[in-house]
Copies of this chain bind each other. A is one copy, B any other.
């Protein structure tokens, strides 16, 4: 699975890594139950620090996407996000400002929905 990081991006490295790993899951490169590479080996592969990878993994765990087994490794464990769950709440908190921006740029409900559909399709066809 290929991971691309851009040091010049607005997003910090650990965020980019989170995004790439989520992409990998959605594309099927990583499936439920799969082990993620160890923080040391992935850091070496990507040419970044171990702690940066570690931060990404723990953030993914906080988001309910992987499970970290102490002294062992990280496993893909997708959780269903119930409404009112902390995962769902955080998602809404992150989604709001982006929608605000879309609306101030003149996009309506229909336009936003078609954009969302377009982007969703890039990762998963249903």
A106 interface residue, CB < 8 Å from B? yes
Find residues 64-78 in chain A having any chain B CB closer than 8 Å to their own CB: 64-65, 78
Contact A92 B119, beta carbon cutoff 8 Å: yes
Tally chain A residues at the interface, Cβ within 8 Å.
47
Task: A116 to B113: give the CA distance in the assembly, Å.
Answer: 7
A61 at the interface (CB under 8 A from B): no
Q: Which of A60-112 contact B (CB under 8 A)?
A: 63-65, 78-81, 87-88, 91-109, 112
A115 within 8 A of B: yes
Q: Which residues of B sit under 8 angstroms from A65, Cβ to Cβ?
A: 104-105
Min CB–CB distance A6 → chain B (angstroms)? 11
